[in-house]
Amino acid sequence: MGITDERHPPIRPRRVTFDWTGTPLHWIPGAPVASHLINYFQILLTTGEKWFVQCVQDAAPYIADPVLRAEIKGFVGQETVHSRSHQGVLDDLLARDGIDTRPIIDGALGGLAERAALMARLAEDPRRFRRRLLFELGAISAIEHYTAVLGQWIIDNDRLDACGADPTMLDLFRWHGAEEIEHRSVVFDVYRALGGGYALRCLTWAVAVALLVQTLVAGTFDLLRRDPSVTRRVTVRRVYRSYRRSVRAGHIFGLGSLLMEGRVYLRPFHHPSHVCSTEVALEYLRRSPAAKAAGYA
């Protein structure tokens, strides 16, 4: 992917809506494993993006650059809408088909409340507060790299359309991915503005990726076992074979590829503007069905 010059209109939230009435639970046809891998990713997004917002808002008072402060405001708005949109999938699609994700969400929200309380206590010791905040920003910066790369991948990927994947779900992820590309530099720039260096960037990348992969794998198995339409026994061998078929077909991004993408993020002089294309993102946002329906296209 080519280097962009990062010129884009001001980052702004687009308050779009989606109707899940006609979307099947296995929205990638014949691929329950691939569908639930991405469904569990949506569970992570609903609360994970609330965490992103907390961290960036905690960092905002330390940012003097007016351009970056404006981008933080746009980032917070976009991530808030993203979280709400994926929550709609959980409430209107997964719950409809007998999968209750409320205990997972409630547990994660409890963790966010504990984090907020911890940061309030650490605020009495500015050095410890800043050290903790930098670690979290480093981890989020790594995750934001992947959400941008995955956003570009799904915008460019016509194999999902060809296999009959649900168009509403594709629009959700392409709209979301386009906005991830649009704001891909914000957290990285906040991290650097607060003094984040290369060694910590490497450490936080490793922690973030390890936890993300572990949680996605465990969560996918959990959804499959709770899916009433999956009648065959959920075994590691069956799940892995189905997962590999979907990766080869280009219907999901392989977890191994996520690890290899680390070679890009961990380059010493890496900057998010070196990956993905802002123009591709904006072009999709001009034709997104949800964005057009909401009057943004």
Residues 6+ apart with CB under 8 A from 88: 17, 18, 20
Token code pair at residue 141: 């910066």
What does each of the 297 residues of the chain score in pLDDT, given as a tens digit? 333 445 567 899 999 999 999 999 999 999 999 999 999 999 999 999 999 999 999 999 999 999 999 999 999 999 999 999 999 999 999 999 999 999 999 999 999 999 999 999 999 999 999 999 999 999 999 999 999 999 999 999 999 999 999 999 999 999 999 999 999 999 999 999 999 999 999 999 999 999 999 999 999 999 999 999 999 999 999 999 999 999 999 999 988 888 889 999 999 999 999 999 999 999 999 999 999 999 986
Amino acid at 135: F
Nearest CA-CA partner of 62 in 9, 141, 133, 142: 133
In eight-state DSSP terms, residue 96 is G
Mean pLDDT, all residues of the chain = 94
Rounded to 5°, the CA angle 41-26-280 comes to 55
What confidence tens digit (pLDDT) does each residue in 198-240 have?
A: 999 999 999 999 999 999 999 999 999 999 999 999 999 999 9
Determine what percent of the chain is predicted with pLDDT higher than 90: 93
List Cα–Cα distances, 80 to 39, 108, 139, 200, in angstroms. Answer: 19, 16, 19, 27
Among 107, 116, 53, 112, residue whose Cα is nearest residue 80: 53
pLDDT per residue over 258-280, tens digit each? Answer: 888 999 999 999 999 999 999 99
Q: Is 260 exposed, middle or buried (0-12, 13-18, 19+ CB in 10 A)?
A: exposed
